[in-house]
Every structure is written in structure tokens, then in C-alpha cells.
Structure 1
Amino acid sequence: MSKILGFAKKVPMLWVVLVCGLVMGLLWHPYRQAAQWLVAVLVAVSLVDTLKGMIDDVRQGHVGVDILAVVAILSTLAVQQYWASWAVVLMLYSGDAIEQYAGNKAQNNLTVLVQAAPQVAHVVQAELPEGEHVLPKESDWNTVDVDKVRLNDLLVVKPGETVPVDGELISPTATLDMSTINGEPMPRRLYQDAQVMSGAVNGSGTFLMRARQLARDSQYQRILNLVRSAQNSRAAVVRTADLMAVPFTVVAFIIACVAWIISGVPTRFAQVLVLATPCPLLIAAPVAYMAGTGRLAKAGLLIKTQDVIENLGRVSHIFFDKTGTLTVKRPQVAKIDLPDGGKRKVDTDRILAMAGAVESYSVHILANGIAEAGAAAQERLRAQGKGETHLHAREVQEDSGNGVQGQVDGHRVKVGRAQFVADGHSSGLFGPLAPDEMASYVSIDGVLAARVVMKDVPRSDAAQTITQLRELGITRLSMVTGDKEDSARIIADQVGITDVHAGLFPEDKADLIAKASREEPNRQPFWDIWLSKFLGESVTKSITLMVGDGVNDAPVLAAADVGMAITDGTTTAASESAQAVIMNDDIACLPRSITIARRTKRVMLQAVMLGLTLATVGMLCAAFDLIPVVVGAFTQEAIDVVSILWALTALIDRD
């Protein structure tokens, strides 16, 4: 009942029309003139409402072609087809209801993201003792709107609540559900001083955090900005569909006038117009694209505008950054070398755990890989009963370009270049590195302890992704990187890319992409070629796509027709330079997104052509008096329903 009442509030005029129809049925035989006057009043109200809607459409940049409905209502009234007038008004408002339903259905995946936005925060007012992690009492904090959180506020997040802003974990540990941000199915366990992102859901105990960003600058707000941008945009093909509704309206009037002139029967004019419906253009096209936008969001790809769907379906040349895109986000620890060749028994897990504790504070490219390996090493130590607590570094100092040092469990630990950790006397104690390897050195209390060897590792599904792209007909696949040729070739061979451009600066990458955009496209879907020719667009331009991690690829992402940033939801890759953002750090999302984009456009064209064909056939039948005017009004609504429901099939996962 509540759903029915809610729907009634959204389309109140539909219920008014239905009630009027019931009253007309009761009055028709004993008081026919009163029923006719009721229809006239209903028509007058609906005309005012429709004209207001047309004006609003024009103000919003859409084509207002409800003139067909206006003339159809007036013409049926003029030829005294009162029930037909009522039927047209009924179809007018039921069409609005169908449009609302279709729009809500198409936007469902995007709406879920918006509704999950943080709303409130618990700000601690009382001063806590230095270093104390005992949670304050509920009387010690105030619940405020998330927009009122200030930088460095101490916040309490209770179980099941959403992290309100980006910040830093104060409590020893926390378990967070990141699925809303990046689709990650398993909860993530974080330790003290770790970064916590807005939009994550607290999955276990209450924890304390320190606000490091305002709500408007936090990660989830960036996600919402992308979602709202996509919701408010209209793809070029949808805007063109709006314009195509104008000639369709002209054709409808021509058919109606010719039918009237040849038959000499005014009713024939009304019969044709009640079947004239531009809804496949005005409603089905945007519904299909909004459905595609929602499907992309569900698959892990957020887009800024619906034009991205257009370009994704036409991509013919894809450029990949290497590090963080084709490879995992950061170099991984491959092995631990000991200075004496491993003759002396040393617990390498202990060394790695201590190095990881220090590196967790560093911003160096190798730091995260060592920090992750250190955390894993510490878990192994705990499992073996060799470690009881989480190692925590203190008095950390970073010497930019050289390394980082700090106190860990009472020892001075240094990690970085050889000359930094042991005065440069360590490099000769180890063998040479392979072309794709890099190293950091570790000293404990001034004594060289180990060399941590790291390398770029391809994503586990990178090779399969490249194969799938080729199966989609996209054979121009290139790697662009600032790395050395030898290192780049090793990764390229592993994932299956033959076109490698190494040693490039960002401007070199941008120039390369600009040149590629002038090439002939190697393949396009037949419907895209047909539509492009019909609309007068060029079909010779190659559509370029650049996939990068969004950290240092901003100018390159902007240079491509589609700039796609790939992130795990805990970085700021959703930047102004990228038109699309993979939020789940899954490169396999790329071929799936292209498939969804192609299907979206295909379904849109099918819905439009099906609706317009049925409407045209219906108008011709009405012109020959094969469809009565009242039947025509309901047939017109059936055509709308068919085309809109067909557009909604873009939501169905058939790929």
C-alpha cells in the first residue's frame, strides 16, 4: 500500500484522469453533456500542464515536441470523440509514469551509490590523554552533519556506520567493508595510522579516527561527483535523437493532413495523430544510455558523461601505462638477499617486518610494496608464535631520495639506498640485479641486514584482458611508459603486447596518442558506421583510450578520447583529467565495459527503430481507417511501452 501511495504522489494527474474516466462512465448515459464538459475541463488542465512541460524542456536544452499530443487532444475533442480525448490524456500521463519507472529502473545502480553517502559524524569534544586508545563515552561526543566536520577532528565510528570523511586510524585496528567504494568483497583489516576512506563501512568494533579531509574533499564525494555528472549528462546520440523527433513530428502531420484531405473526413486527422509518438526518441534513447551507465557502475566503472559510452563502443586503439596498470599497483618483494650469501642464520621475516613498519610512513614508489610484504611477514611471525603485537615505527624520518629510518621494537632501522643505510659499503656484497629488478637495502642498528629485491609483476588477469580486447576486434594495443626498454619489454611479453614505447615523458605520451587519433579506425560495429553516416559524423577517426593509474598520467589521460584511471578506491585517481574511473582496481573491467557500451548503443538503436517503425505503420493504418481513434490512442501507448521496455533490456547482463 505504501508503494502505491508513493507512486500516486509522483504522478497525481494519472489518478485524477482515472477517476474522471470512472465518473464519465457513470454519467455518460443519463448525463452525457455533463460527461462531455468534464472531458473538456480535463483537456484544458492537461493542455496547460503539457505546455508548461514543453517550456521546461526547451529551457533545459531539450526539444519540446509534445505538440503532437496537444494537437491530438484538441483534434479528438473537435471531432467530438470525447472518449478518445480522455484516452489520449490518459496515455499522456501514463506515459509520464512509465518514463519515471524506466528512469528509476535505469538509474538504480547509480542511486544506490548516492544513497550510501555518509550523512553524519560523531565528533569527540572531550580531550583524551596522549596516546590513549580507550574509546570515549557516548557523552563525550556530539553527532553532527558530515559537512560540519573540521580538519583534525577526532571522530568515533560505530559498528555498521559509514566512515564520514577521509582520515587516519587512531585505534590499534579496524575492519572495514570497502565494497561501496571499490566492490572489494572481503573486509579489509587496517592498523593504527592507516588511511581510512569515506564511504567504507565499519564492520566490527567501534574505532577512533582523525579527520584529514573535509567532507567535500573526501574520496566518496569524488565518487558522488562522478555519479551526478553522469546522471545529468546526455550523450551526443541522445541529443541527436531529440532533434530527430522534430522531422518525425513533421512527417506525422503530413500523413494526418493527407489522410484528411483525401478522405474528406476530419476524424481521419485525429486518428493518425493519436498514433504519432516520438517517445522512442525522447524516452527510449536516454533510458537505454542511463541503463548502460548504471551497468557500468555495477561493473566497477564510473563515467563522467554519457558520451564516454559512445566513445567506449568505438575504441580502436588502447594505450596502457605499465606500472600500476598492466602491473600490480606497486613493485612486489621478489626475494631477500643476505650480505653473507645466506650462510648466517637470520630470520628474514623479522627483517622484513621491521623494514615494513618503517616503510609504511614513506611515500617512495617502493615503500608500499615493502610495507605490504612486511605486514604479511609479521602475520607469519604471529602464526609461528614469534610475534605478539603489531610492530609500530616511531621517530620516523625520511630523507627524500635516499630512504627512511625509525625506531622499531627498540632498534634503529634504516631502509633505502646503499649509501644511506650503510655508508655505501654494501653494494659490492650482493650480485647484480636483473633488468626488471630494483632494490632497497636494510640496516639494523647500523649493521647491513639485507637487500630487498623487488620487481614489477603483471596483474594476474592482464594477459587475459589483452586477449579479450583482441577478441572484441581491438588489435591496436600499445604500452607507453617512462621505464627502461628492457624492463618494459619483459612486462609487455608477459601480457601479450608487442607495440612498446619506453623511456617517454608525459608530453611524449600525449603526442603519441594525438598522432594515433588521426589513424584510420581498424574496426567499428556496423550500427555505429550506419548511424555516423546518417548523422554526418566522420567514421574515419580512430578513437583512442588511455588507461593509467591516475597518479602521474593526468596530461596523458586528457590527451586521449577516453582517459580511464584505474584505482582501488583508496587513491585520488578520480581526477579531473579522467573521463572514466575503474573503482575496483580490476583491469578486467576494461573489455567488459567496452562490451556493455556496445550493447547499450545497440539496444538504444533497436528500441528507437522498433518504436518509430511501429508508430509509422500505425499511422498509415489509421490513415486508411483501419484503426479507430480510441483504439489508436491505446495502441500508441502500447508502442511506447514496447520501445521503453526494450530500452531497459540494456540492464540485462547477456554478455
Structure 2
Amino acid sequence: MTDRDAQACETAVSDALKTDARRRKEGLAESKSTGSETPARDAHFRTVPVDEVALGDVVIVLPGETVPVDGELLSGSATLDLSNINGEPVPREIFAGARVMSGAVNGSTTLTMRATQVAGDSQYQRIMSLVASAQESRPAVVKTADRLAVPFTVLALVIAGVAWAMAGDPTRFAQVLVLATPCPLLIAAPVAYVAGTGRLAKAGVLIKTQDVLETLGRVGHVFFDKTGTLTVKQPQVVRVEMLPGLDTRLNQDHVLMMAGVVENYSVHILAKGIAKAGLEALARLDQRFADGQRNCPERDFPGHGREHPVVKNIVEDAGKGVSGEVNGHRVRVGRLAFANESQDGFQPVTHDDQPARTIELATGETRLTSETIRSRFGALAPDEMATYVSVDGQLVARIVLRDVPRANAKRALAQLRELGVESLTMLTGDKASSARIIADEVGIDDVQAELFPEDKVNAVRKATAMTESGSRHTVTMMVGDGVNDAPVLAAADIGMAITDGTSTAASESAQVVIMNDDIASVPRAIAIARRTRRVMLQAVLLGLGLALVGMIAAAFNLIPVVLGAFLQEAIDVVSILWALTVLIDRD
């Protein structure tokens, strides 16, 4: 920490104590973030409702908690996950004096911040206001059955009136109206929609209103969020790069296994991705051992012949990395400076006029400078970030992570095109270079990047306005998962939220919720909705057609009133049974 950072922290603590003393006199207490319910032992801080946080209050945000209000960072540095706010998949590191936005998730260190906005004016609340505004402006949907009701009623009355006038017998009027059954409209259509809703629920898709199901079948333009929707929710390991020129018997799987073991004890935002890759590497090592490979004896390096690694002395240095012993070997995972540290904690350095080279430390060991290490590894792609690994004091590799597409995202988008969806667009707050890479991998041509929530809303509304000004209206649908997607989910004709079953701001504002976190449910939902609408129309038109034939026959006195009553019930049964064919899985 620099002198400036230390001074900022001292100022934060001093201000907190002064504010606390002032509030004690007023019968109030200092503010803290909303994650922990237990006050600090010295009682300087306690949890209060977010609406009670005032301008200038000093707020403490613990690791893994959500920032409650906008503010200014007082701590030396912090790592924030902004994926819910602007779609950035890679955590952002900020320093003292930087803006901290509400809705961001704190990383592995406790941060101190000063509130610069009250809750009602913070970023998160502005997003929620956009949601409310978008929901109010959504037009009402007129159901197909409602469109058919008026003309059918008029036609029935005309046939009955003409029959009465021509026969001069009011009974003829009654005979016609007996067969003018409204049940295909009143019962068959709702039965088809209920059956379709059940099909969707079985597929892990929930809809909130019946009219959404009908509109879903007419979707022609789908907008996708990137991070967490087209991609997985956390950056994943894409490769392990061994340090060039290093003489070691370790391979990539050994590095991943050991790094994954120690990262499993970390709360860092990237830890889950490395821990997952470590488990997969351990499985590969075990399989190779079971197949008879003995090129890497257990006594030399870990990974073979042991069901679970032996882990000791795990220590996380907040903001730098995590270290521990795995099967007796010292492992450090984290920033380059942390992984390349000597046993006594010193770093090899060179002056600006010195070439990058190997430094011999006082202990006799040699160590590469950071400049040499970076030049040997080479540059990272725009959407990549790396963490470094050392074993027994020797830097051995770097693990590269990036935001990767869902395994079935490309296939899901191809299925949408097969269904006749005309346009696919990516809307994201992430950098254009990163967004373009993901778009190319999943097959999207139209990319709009570096957007704020209000920009996403404007993009969807612009697309809607263009189709409405044309010859027909193309139904727009937005698919997203984060807080920043909530306004555009509400603004689109249909908002579809991808969740893992938990309640989120996105699921609250969306009309369709995918509960199994599977993007393949998007084309499947549209296919089911189209079949439901098709069967509903068939059931309604079949029922109305039979009724029309019966009314004409009754008009010519071919069907008496009593027989007409029985035929009317038969027509209703046929319509309802046809509507129930929605339950047959043909998609």
C-alpha cells in the first residue's frame, strides 16, 4: 500500500469515528452495507436499512457483499464484479478516490467507501426506475380469440335473422342460435393455452400471463445480453501456459490441480473457475494413473495415486493471491508479484536502464524479473486475464481465463434461425473487442457494445419503432440475466430472463423466466408457443366451422332445436379434444 493509500485509510477511519460520535449524540448509528447482521465488536458500525444511509456516511462492504449505494472508495484498492451492472465479465480493480456503483459485488477484501448518493439516487435505483417506466409503456396485446369473437357473433345473428325473415317463424331463429356455440372461443382457446403453459413448465420455462404465450410465438427479433446469457456466469480457464525455458516435470494438469485445490478456499471472484478446472485436471490425472502411467512418481510431484490431495496451511493475502501446501509442496496462486515472491518476501527488481534478466538473490536462488516473465509468456487477448502459479518457490505457469460462450449457445441461435427468427442482436455493456469475439463464436452479426441500461432500452425501442412503421410489426424479445438487463427486459415486447431458479431483478421484470439456466430453452419456448398458437387456432376454427355448418343447416330447418342442443355439445367436445393435442410432444 502506498503512503497515499495509507493516508486515505487513516482518513476513512478517522472520519468514521467522528461521524459515529456525532450520531451517538443524536441517538443514531453509523451505516454499514446490508450483508452482515452482526455489528462490529467495538460497536462503531451496525447494519441499518439502505434507505437510512445519508450523504457522507462511511460504509463498510464485506467480501462477497453487494455495494448498497453509490460512493467514493476510501480504501487503498478494491476488486469489484460489475457484471450485473454493465456486463463486464472480468472483475475491475479500482483505487482510492474511484467511483463505486451500487449493485457491484465486492471481491475478496473489505472495502471502505463514502456515500455520494442516497439509495433513491444510486445506480441500482435508477435501473429499477427504468424498469417501472418501461413496464408502464408496454402496449396491451389483443388475443386472437378476442378478434374472432365479434365477427362470429355478428355472423350468427345475421344467419338467424335471415332464417327467421325467410321462414316467418321465430323458432327458426332459436334453432340457429342454439348451434351458435361460443365454447371454441371461451373454452378451447384457454384449454390450448393452459396445455401450452404446462408444456413450457415441463421444459423449465414459466410464463406470467396467457397473452405472453400467444405473443411469444410471433417473435421475429431477439436481443441477447452477453455476460451470463450467451456466456457462462464466471470467467473460465481456457488454457495453462507453462513458463517457456523452465525445466520442470510438471505439466498443465499438475498446475491446474494444485492451483484449483488452493483456490477452492478463496473467496476471489476468479476462484470458482480455477477450482472447477482443478477438479477436472485431478480427474484426468487419476485416470492416467489408473491406465498405468507412472512417469510422474508421487514422491516427486503430486497428482497420481492419491484420491484426494493433502492440503495444509492455506493463507489468502487479500487482493494478491492465496498460498498453501498441496501434498507437501508449497503453492502460490495469484498476481505475478505475489507468485514470484521469494521466500523472504522480496521481489527481484531492475532499474529502467537495466535489461530484463535473471536476478540472483541473497539466498543463492535465482529469480526472473517480472519484465522477463511477461515477455516470455507473451501478450493476452483483449478479453483474457491471467493468474500466476509457483510451486516450491519457482514460478512455473500462468492460468489464462476468459468469458467463454455457453456450450450450446451457438446451436441455440442456429435453432432460432431455423424457426424463422429474422434478426439476432447482442446488447452488452462490455468492451466492443470482447463482445465481438463472443459474437463471432456464437454466430451473431449485429453487436452493440459499451451500452448503459438506458442505451439498451433505446436500442430495443428503436427496433420496435422501425418495424411498426413498416408493413407489419415484428415482435421483439430480450433475453438477459442481470440487474442491468431488467429495464430492457421490461421494454421489449417480451422479456425472457435466464435464471437458476432464484429470484432476481431480471426475473421480476421479465414476462418469461427460464428456471433451468439453459439457453437452449429459448428456441424451445418459441417452438412450443408456435405450436400452441397453431393448435389453438385449429381448435377454434374447427369448432366455429362446425357451428357455422350446423347454423346453415338449422336455418333450412334440417336440424331441430333438441338435436341442435346435442350437436352443440358435440362441437364443444371436438374443439376441446383438439386443443388438448398441444400436450403431444412434437417439437
Q: Same fold (TM over 0.5)?
A: yes
What is the match of residue 481 of structure 1? 428
8 Å contact kept, 1:289–1:306 = yes
Give the Å deviation of 1:313.
Answer: 2.0
1:597 is the counterpart of 2:529: yes
What is the match of residue 466 of structure 2? 519
One-letter amino acid of the counterpart of residue 512, structure 1: A
What is the match of residue 419 of structure 1? 337
Q: Deviations over 1:227-273 (max 9, x none)?
A: xxxxxxxx9555x7368657755765665566456545454344233
Give the Å deviation of 1:478.
Answer: 1.5
* Matched residue SS, 1:519: helix
Question: How far apart, in 1, do the equivalents of 2:392 and 2:453 lie?
Answer: 41
Matching residue within 266, 284, 287 for 1:380: 284
What is the match of residue 182 of structure 2? 278
Give the Å deviation of 1:569.
Answer: 5.1
Structure holding more helix per residue: 1
Matching residue within 507, 519, 535 for 2:454: 507
8 Å contact kept, 1:519–1:542 = no
8 Å contact kept, 1:337–1:450 = yes
One-letter amino acid of the counterpart of residue 602, structure 1: R
1:580 is the counterpart of 2:512: yes
* Matched residue SS, 1:518: helix
1:448 is the counterpart of 2:352: no
- Matches for 1:78-157 after TM superposition, within 5 Å: none
- Matches for 1:536-575 after TM superposition, within 5 Å: 540-550=472-482, 553-567=485-499, 575=507
8 Å contact kept, 2:485–2:506 = no
* Matched residue SS, 2:217: helix
Q: Deviations over 1:388-416 (max 9, x none)?
A: 34348677666665444556556664433
Question: How far apart, in 2, do the equivalents of 1:243 and 1:488 lie?
Answer: 43
What is the match of residue 288 of structure 1? 192
1:638 is the counterpart of 2:570: yes
What is the match of residue 624 of structure 1? 556
- Matches for 1:454-493 after TM superposition, within 5 Å: 454-493=401-440
Question: How far apart, in 2, do the equivalents of 1:400 and 1:363 lie?
Answer: 9
8 Å contact kept, 1:392–1:408 = yes
Unaligned runs of 5+ in 1: 1-150, 152-234, 523-537
Question: How far apart, in 2, do the equivalents of 1:398 and 1:377 lie?
Answer: 22
Q: Deviations over 1:156-178 (max 9, x none)?
A: xxxxxxxxxxxxxxxxxxxxxxx
Question: How far apart, in 1, do the equivalents of 2:316 and 2:466 lie?
Answer: 47
8 Å contact kept, 1:242–1:282 = no
Q: Identity across aligned pairs (percent)? A: 67
8 Å contact kept, 1:573–1:581 = no
Question: How far apart, in 2, do the equivalents of 1:543 and 1:415 lie?
Answer: 49
8 Å contact kept, 2:175–2:555 = yes
8 Å contact kept, 1:334–1:454 = yes
One-letter amino acid of the counterpart of residue 382, structure 2: P
8 Å contact kept, 1:402–1:420 = yes
One-letter amino acid of the counterpart of residue 229, structure 2: T
8 Å contact kept, 1:442–1:450 = yes
Q: Deviations over 1:104-134 (max 9, x none)?
A: xxxxxxxxxxxxxxxxxxxxxxxxxxxxxxx
Question: How far apart, in 2, do the equivalents of 1:427 and 1:361 lie?
Answer: 30
> Structure 1 residues 396 and 276 mapped into 2: Cα distance closer, same or farther (>3 Å)?
farther
> Structure 1 residues 348 and 654 mapped into 2: Cα distance closer, same or farther (>3 Å)?
closer
What is the match of residue 210 of structure 2? 306
Matching residue within 613, 629, 641 for 2:545: 613
Unaligned runs of 5+ in 2: 1-36, 38-139, 291-303, 342-346, 348-368
Give the Å deviation of 1:281.
Answer: 0.7
> Structure 1 residues 519 and 266 mapped into 2: Cα distance closer, same or farther (>3 Å)?
closer
Instruction: Tell me which moved more, 284-293 or 269-278.
Output: 269-278
Aligned length: 406
8 Å contact kept, 1:550–1:578 = no
Question: How far apart, in 1, do the equivalents of 2:502 and 2:309 lie?
Answer: 23
1:431 is the counterpart of 2:378: yes
Give the Å deviation of 1:304.
Answer: 2.5
Matching residue within 565, 569, 580 for 1:648: 580
| TM-score of the superposed pair, with normalisation by structure 2 | 0.60
* Matched residue SS, 2:426: strand
One-letter amino acid of the counterpart of residue 482, structure 1: G
* Matched residue SS, 1:297: helix
8 Å contact kept, 2:489–2:506 = no
One-letter amino acid of the counterpart of residue 648, structure 1: L
Q: Deviations over 1:262-293 (max 9, x none)?
A: 54545434423332211011111111112222
Q: Deviations over 1:174-210 (max 9, x none)?
A: xxxxxxxxxxxxxxxxxxxxxxxxxxxxxxxxxxxxx
- Matches for 1:207-246 after TM superposition, within 5 Å: 236-238=141-143, 241=145, 245=149
* Matched residue SS, 2:466: coil
Give the Å deviation of 1:308.
Answer: 2.6
Give the Å deviation of 1:374.
Answer: 0.5
- Matches for 1:58-69 after TM superposition, within 5 Å: none
Question: How far apart, in 2, do the equivalents of 1:595 and 1:358 lie?
Answer: 45
Give the Å deviation of 1:541.
Answer: 4.3
> Structure 1 residues 294 and 327 mapped into 2: Cα distance closer, same or farther (>3 Å)?
same
Question: How far apart, in 1, do the equivalents of 2:305 and 2:548 lie?
Answer: 77
8 Å contact kept, 2:199–2:528 = yes
Q: How big is the alpha-carbon RMSD for the aligned residues of Structure 1 and Structure 2?
A: 3.5
Matching residue within 432, 437, 441 for 1:494: 441
Give the Å deviation of 1:440.
Answer: 1.5
Question: How far apart, in 2, do the equivalents of 1:394 and 1:509 lie?
Answer: 48
Question: How far apart, in 2, do the equivalents of 1:571 and 1:452 lie?
Answer: 33
Give the Å deviation of 1:625.
Answer: 1.0
What is the match of residue 127 of structure 1? none
* Matched residue SS, 1:320: strand
Q: Deviations over 1:419-444 (max 9, x none)?
A: 34445754641222133432112244
Matching residue within 297, 312, 317 for 2:201: 297
Question: How far apart, in 1, do the equivalents of 2:246 and 2:497 lie?
Answer: 42
What is the match of residue 338 of structure 1? 242
What is the match of residue 3 of structure 1? none
Instruction: Tell me which moved more, 254-263 or 513-522.
Output: 254-263
What is the match of residue 319 of structure 1? 223
